[in-house]
Amino acid sequence: MSDPTAAPLARYSAWVRRGDFIFLSGVIAVDPGAGRIIRGFGDLPDGIGPTIGQTGEFSVDAKDGPVLAQSWYVFDRIRATMEQAGGSMNDVFKLVQYFKNLNDFPRYNTVRRMFFPDTPPASTVVEVSAMMPSDDILIEVEATAWLPLKP
C-alpha cells in the first residue's frame, strides 16, 4: 500500500484538528496512490485475510470478502491517520458509518470489534444509495476523536 493514512480523493482535507478534537473525513477503501479500490482479500497485505474471516472457500470468500476487506482497510487507514495525528484508536469516540447495504453490517461489525476491542465508540449507521467514486465502494466511515493538545 502506498500510504498508510487516509488520503483524500479530491480537494478536501483527510483530517483536521480543531482544538482537542480530530475530525476525519469519510474514509473509503481506496488506495489513491496506487489508483485502486480494495475489492477483496487479495488486495490486503499478506496474512490479513485469515485474521478477518477469509475461509479459503471461493463461494464464501467471494461473498464476504469485499465487505470484510474494505472494513479492515478503512479501519487500518483510520488507525494510521490517528497515529499520524499523535493519537490512537482509543482516542476515537464517535463513528458515522455509511453502508450501501445494511445487510453487510454484521460482517463489518466483526472487523470493527478488532479495532475497538474494549469500549466501542458512539455510532451512527445509515444506508445510502451510492458512494464515490465507484459502485464497488460498500462502506464509508467518518471518525471523531478527542486528543488533547500537549502543552
- CATH topology for 15-146 is 60s Ribosomal Protein L30; Chain: A; (3.30.1330)
- Rounded to whole angstroms, the Cα distance separating 131 from 54 reads 25
Q: What average pLDDT score do residues 27-40 get?
A: 90
Which band of pLDDT confidence, cut at 50, 70 and 90, is reported for residue 31? confident
Backbone angles phi, psi at 136, to 5 degrees: -75, -15
Residue 144 phi, psi (nearest 5): -125, 135
Q: Quick one: cell of 117?
A: 476491542
Q: Which residues of 81-104 are buried (b: 16+ CB within 10 A; e: fewer)?
A: bbeebebebebbeebbbbbbeeeb
3-state secondary structure of 66: helix
Residue 104: pLDDT over 70: yes
Pair 9, 39: CB distance under 8 Å:
no
Closest CA to 12 of 35, 37, 32: 32
Is the CA virtual torsion 75, 76, 81, 85 positive or negative?
positive
How is residue 66 written as a grid cell? Answer: 469485499
Model confidence at 6, pLDDT cuts 50, 70, 90, reads: low
Domains in the chain: boundaries: 15-146
Compute the average pLDDT of residues 20-30: 96
pTM for the model stands at: 0.91
Residue 28, phi-psi category: left (phi > 0), alpha (psi -120 to 50), beta (remainder) = beta
Q: What angle do CA 96, 11, 132 make, to 5 degrees?
A: 50
pLDDT digits 0-9 by tens, 118-137 = 999 999 999 999 998 899 99
Residue-wise pLDDT tens digits, 69-96: 999 999 999 999 999 999 999 999 999 9
